[in-house]
Structure 1
């Protein structure tokens, strides 16, 4: 109850502080540049200046937070990546040279590549199929709600759920893991699924696909509903069947949205961390870049140079996709 009380107090204080900030700053701006009680020429000039300043009062806190929590960490990470483990002695590109020759880093790159191949493709595909199917059934909104629900679960919470699904007990004992219970009921032998090299990566990917399918479904469902009915009716009149309408009429019209969903999930995959940490902690050849960065930065005494170098690599992979995504989304909105 104390934690709940403190959470409510914190939220209330935050809302009050935001309201007070915007009220006081606008009040102060109106006092510095009054539009009443002065000549019409001066009032017009003050209103023009105040209108130019006012948007920055709203943007100011966000820009400050972005600078402190985004821009500064990027600059600091690049700086640390050129220094030794303590972050004091300059070593140039030595940390990047280490990465090229480190087996665990190469394993992480390979695993991230697997995630990039599988997760965005399957999450987008399942989201698209479900969006198309649920729009045609009367209980479609209920189905969408159920499929979207995993989005409300944290990655660690989802990992705990799937850890029970993959749970392994020695042969002869009752299997509480759903997957092993199914396998043993069919006469098979139980497996420690998340310890199977290579294949365990796909078992971890299932978790993120399960979560992100709901996101893809919602965005693509909205895009499908935006398709003009006239094009579909014309295709039906011309004799097109359901598959032809879906692949040759509907998908081409929402291809931009599909690309945005795909790249958004791709950015998330490049930063995947929580699932691997909670499920395997990078063991059994499941290491990914973000988890490797965490290991070098905060474990075993910490190596700020190598940890920051890995962070720079992740950023270098994410930023181009993010820029393309923003431009594409902007173009879609203008269209």
Structure 2
């Protein structure tokens, strides 16, 4: 109850502060540039000036937040990556040379590439298939709600759920993990799935695919419904079967949306952290870049230099995809 009370008070204060800021700033702006004055020329000039300033009053808090929590940390990370573990002595590119020679960093890069190859493709493919199938059945909206539901669960919460799916008990004991229960029912031996090198990466990827399929489904379903009926009717008249209509008519028309979904999930995969931390903590060759950064920054004796250098690598990998994604989404909105 105490935590609930604190949360409620925090929300109330935040909402009240936002309302007070916008009301007070607009009131102050109207006092600085009054429009209800006898001089019509001056009133018109004040209206124009107030109109130029007013949008920045709304953008101001967001810009300040972005500067404090995004822009400043980016520059700070670059600076720290050129310093020693305490962030005091300049060491140049020593941290980046260490990364190139570190086996765990190379393992993290390999695992991140695996995630990049599997998760965006699988999530987008499953989302597209489900979007196409659910639009053809009467209970499609119910199915979409169930499939989208994992999006409401945090990554840590989803990891806890899947830990039960992969749970292991000794041979002869009753298996509470669904996967091992199926294996034992089929006559096999239970396995400690998340400790199997290489394959355990795929078991972790399943969790993110499970979560992101709902995201892909929603966007692709909206795109499919936006396809002009005339093109589908023309294909039917020409004798195209449902498979040909889907592959050759529908998919090409929503390719821009597919690309946006794919790259959005790709950016998320590059920053994946919670699932690995909750499931394996990077053990058994499942380490990824974000988790490695966390280990060096907060666990490996507090080496800010190495942790920041890994953060810079993640940023360098994410930024080009993010820029391309924004440009592609803008073209999609503008209909080009």
Normalising TM by the smaller chain, what interval? Answer: over 0.9
- Shift in Å at residue 46 of structure 1? 0.4
Distance 2:84 2:13 in 1: 42
- Residue 16 of structure 2 is matched in structure 1 by 16
Greater mean deviation of Cα atoms: 319-328 or 6-15: 6-15
- SS in structure 2 at match of 1:38: coil
Distance 2:12 2:84 in 1: 44
- Shift in Å at residue 38 of structure 1? 3.4
- Shift in Å at residue 37 of structure 1? 2.0
Distance 2:137 2:228 in 1: 20
- Residue 189 of structure 2 is matched in structure 1 by 189
Matched positions, count? 335
- Shift in Å at residue 109 of structure 1? 0.1
Post-superposition CA distance 1:184-243 (Å, at most 9, x none): 011000000000000000000000000000000000000000000000000000000011
- Shift in Å at residue 96 of structure 1? 0.4
- Shift in Å at residue 300 of structure 1? 3.0
Indicate whether 1:51 and 2:74 are aligned. Answer: no
- Residue 150 of structure 1 is matched in structure 2 by 150
- Residue 278 of structure 1 is matched in structure 2 by 278
- Residue 247 of structure 1 is matched in structure 2 by 247
Matches within 5 A, 1:219-234: 219-234=219-234
Post-superposition CA distance 1:271-300 (Å, at most 9, x none): 000000000000000000000000000003
Q: Which runs of 5+ in 2 are unaligned?
A: none
- Residue 81 of structure 1 is matched in structure 2 by 81
Distance 2:32 2:306 in 1: 51
- Residue 263 of structure 2 is matched in structure 1 by 263
Distance 1:291 1:270 in 2: 11
Instruction: Report runs of 4+ in structure 1 exceeding 2 Å deviation.
Output: none
- SS in structure 2 at match of 1:21: helix
- Shift in Å at residue 163 of structure 1? 0.3
Q: Which runs of 5+ in 1 are unaligned?
A: none
- TM-score, with normalisation over the residues of structure 2? 0.99
- TM-score, with normalisation over the residues of structure 1? 0.99
- SS in structure 2 at match of 1:67: helix
Distance 1:83 1:3 in 2: 40
- Residue 126 of structure 2 is matched in structure 1 by 126
- Residue 290 of structure 1 is matched in structure 2 by 290
Distance 1:157 1:33 in 2: 52
- Shift in Å at residue 12 of structure 1? 1.3
- SS in structure 2 at match of 1:305: helix
- Residue 167 of structure 1 is matched in structure 2 by 167
- Residue 326 of structure 1 is matched in structure 2 by 326
Distance 2:76 2:260 in 1: 30
Distance 2:173 2:84 in 1: 50
Distance 2:79 2:171 in 1: 52
- Residue 307 of structure 1 is matched in structure 2 by 307
Distance 2:44 2:100 in 1: 63
- SS in structure 1 at match of 2:187: coil
